[in-house]
Amino acid sequence: MLKIGLVSVSDRASSGVYEDKGIPELKYWLTTAIKGEFTVEARLIADEQPLVEQALMELVDMHSCHLILTTGGTGPAKRDITPDATLAIADRVMPGFGEQMRQISLHFVPTAILSRQVGVIRKSCLIINLPGQPKSIKETLEGVKDANGNVLVNGIFASIPYCIQLLEGPYIETQEQVIKAFRPKSALK
């Protein structure tokens, strides 16, 4: 069964100043997008690099997650350390994810170029840094669509099921009205 780790990185939400919105948005979106069952391990932590590194390593090494989605801490501010922590524990970098996330976000805000989001692999787990705002999370995962719902720019989740399959993880099917997963014909079941 697919195991997904969700990590929300926020000083204020982790200390109770306000309610975390990243993990609830991710859980909701994943339940609408993925066909079949999956389990979730969630963490809400402060913007401290050792804490983020520890959470990511625990989710991969101890909980055997196939996918980890982080939210928050990806900008240029001094406390934004999520990409740094992600790169520190990575075995391999997947630069296309960061490139595509910025391309998508540029359709909505010019400050998307300030994002330092990355995608990496640790062991057999894909780890992706998403933006912190619920609206931006959805846009990044689903992509840019016109008024009729036609895809203009693919969201990053279109590539995630095949990537996990290549990493010898479970076969993931998606609800095509939310996001259509892409695989070459030779990889279809």
Give the helix/strand (H/E) hosting 76.
none
Taking the domain 2-187, which CATH number applies?
3.40.980.10
Tens-digit pLDDT profile for residues 91-132: 999 999 999 999 999 999 999 999 999 999 999 999 999 998
User: Do residues 76 and 116 lie in contact, with contact meaning Cβ atoms separated by under 8 Å?
Assistant: yes
- Could you tell me the end-to-end alpha-carbon distance of the chain, in angstroms, rounded to an integer? 16
Domains of the chain, residue spans: 2-187
Q: Residue 154: beta bridge partners?
A: 143
pTM value surpassing 0.85: yes
Tens-digit pLDDT profile for residues 58-89: 999 999 999 999 999 999 999 999 999 999 99
pLDDT at 7 over 80: yes
Return the number of other C-beta atoms located less than 10 Å from residue 123's C-beta: 11
User: Do residues 51 and 111 lie in contact, with contact meaning Cβ atoms separated by under 8 Å?
Assistant: no
